[in-house]
C-alpha cells in the first residue's frame, strides 16, 4: 500500500490496470511495448509473483499512469497478442538437429537453422 501511495503522490494520478497475469514475463513483454510507444506504466504486485500458492488478487498487474493513454494501450496490447493460437500447437522438426519447435517459429530454438514451412 505504501508503494501505491508514494506513486500516487509522485505522479498525481490514479493507475488504470490493463492486465494481470501470474507470469512476470508476459507483464514485462507488454510493458516494454507500451513504454516503447511513450506510454508510462507501473507494475502492481511486481515482487509478489514468486509467492507460494499464488492468489489471483496478488498477480502482477500492468497499469498505465494516464487515462488519456487507455485507448492506445488497449490497441497495442490487442495487436501484440498472438492472432492464432493454433499455430503454436503444430510442431516442426528441425532438419539440421532434429529438435522439436513450436509451429510458429521460423528458426530452430536449439541450433538457429531455418525451419521448413
For residue 40, give the DSSP letter: -
| pLDDT band at residue 38 under the 50/70/90 scheme | very high
Question: CATH 3.30.70.790 residue ranges in the chain?
Answer: 2-80
> pTM of this prediction?
0.56
Low-confidence winner among 50-59, 70-79, 108-117 (lowest mean pLDDT): 50-59
Q: Determine the Cα–Cα distance for residues 48 and 54; give it in Å rounded to an integer.
A: 8
Q: Determine the Cα–Cα distance for residues 117 and 99; give it in Å rounded to an integer.
A: 15
pLDDT of residue 110: 86
Give the closest residue to 28 by CA, choosing from 62, 73, 79. 62
Q: Determine the Cα–Cα distance for residues 71 and 4; give it in Å rounded to an integer.
A: 23
Q: How far is CA 110 from CA 44, 84, 91, in A?
A: 35, 24, 14
For residue 106, give the DSSP letter: S
Which residues, in sequence order, are bridge partners of residue 91? 102
| pLDDT band at residue 103 under the 50/70/90 scheme | confident
The CATH architecture that domain 2-80 belongs to is: 2-Layer Sandwich (3.30)
Amino acid at each position: 500500500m505504501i508503494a501505491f501511495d508514494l506513486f500516487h503522490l509522485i505522479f498525481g494520478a490514479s493507475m488504470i490496470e490493463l492486465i494481470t497475469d501470474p507470469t512476470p514475463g508476459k507483464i514485462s513483454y507488454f510493458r516494454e511495448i507500451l513504454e516503447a510507444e511513450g506510454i508510462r506504466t507501473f507494475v502492481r504486485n511486481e515482487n509478489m509473483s514468486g509467492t507460494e500458492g499464488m492468489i489471483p488478487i496478488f498477480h502482477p498487474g500492468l497499469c498505465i499512469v494516464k487515462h488519456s493513454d487507455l485507448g492506445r494501450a488497449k490497441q497495442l496490447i490487442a495487436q501484440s497478442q498472438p492472432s492464432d493460437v493454433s499455430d503454436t500447437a503444430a510442431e516442426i522438426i528441425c532438419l539440421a538437429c532434429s529438435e522439436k519447435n513450436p509451429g510458429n517459429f521460423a528458426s530452430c530454438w536449439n541450433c538457429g537453422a531455418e525451419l521448413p514451412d
